[in-house]
Structure 1
Amino acid sequence: MTSEDIMFHFAPAYAPHFGGLYESAVKSAKHHLKRIAFRSHLTFEELCTLLTQIEAILNSRPLSPLSSDPNDLNPLTPGHFLIGRSFTTIPSHSYHQYNLNRLTRYERIEALRQHFWKRWHAEYLRQLQQRNKWMTNYTQLNTDKLVLLKDENLPPLKWKLGRIMKLYPGQDGIARVADVRTIDGIVRRAACKICPLPDSE
């Protein structure tokens, strides 16, 4: 490591608040994991499988646009730093309506994963969309900006991404409606359903 000029800076012991953003992500994951798996009585292998799947969910989150090209809908994710691309998963049946006691062991783990995704995904989108409207003006939506669209029915590791094509400002000049180009075509959404990704601007 010395020959590559790599230096490590460690946080002091028992001081997780020194970690900042990455520690808040760990706290959020632990919070939801504790609530979904508290009384599940998982074996070591089942818990290891569930934790690996949760790791993939956390590392699939979009961080920022991958390029400045307005035709590129791909985001930069933590998965790019780990494996060189974003994480994917095979489609699976939804187990939200089933009683956990009636499922097989595999189906129970899948149901726990889906439950974690539903809770954590909603919280992550809310963090991206924080607007302190009484303190400061929040960032306006801009054309060609990469955004996430809120959709409560997405399966784990699926993010609905798009680029803003056209804005519809109101009488006060603030755009509250936008046309967004996605893989499936152009959709019109209200600003409350659009979560802009942070970028270098």
Structure 2
Amino acid sequence: MKKLNASIIKFAVVLQLFILLFAAVSVSAASPQLPIIAGGEVELDEKSAEAGTTITVMLDGKVVSKTTVSNDGIYGDKPSNRLLITESDYTKYKFYVNGIESELANPDAIKNAKSGDLIELNLKATTPTESSGDDVVSTSMGGGGGMAAPSAPSDDGSGAVDESPSVPSDETVLPSPGSEIDTGSDESMPVPTPESQSTLVFGLVLLLFVVLVGIGALKYKKK
């Protein structure tokens, strides 16, 4: 009789330890990865960025986070306009101010940050200088020979002006610098949530019920 009771107790203890271990592993796996929360100063053309300026974070051509400056020169002063950046290889992130790629005034702040940290990340952007007119680049055709600009009408000295049309050339026109990027959707990357917690709780309750049923069955056999 005593041996049977001791066996039941040992079985219950081992099973409970197993349940606790399973719960710890499941909770750890279901825990969401908290983003890095960024705020700080933002400058555009060496001046404090005006309210309404947009700040966009992109990774591999996709928008990771986006916010709008509410007070001149500052972002992240309110929970609603902070940047939420998931932890990853931060050297691959690109920051844009009004579509202009910006520099990080203190890059170590994000390089040393960990998941869930609230950091101050200062941004500086400069609008590229636009050249007058369209930049035209000559391209070679076939086996050689560059393209020449159209020549002006020539005078051969007899008073007659040679106005023969010049040979048309192919021109490659460079886009004007400073064009804004396509930021795509206004929605930031969602922060993962522990949706499996309800399933985990249900599983634990079910395991506890099985344990109680097993103990009851052993006691019934003992009688």
Structure with greater helix percent: 1
TM interval, short-chain normalised: under 0.3
Bigger Rg, which one = 2
TM, length-normalised to structure 1:
0.17
TM, length-normalised to structure 2:
0.16
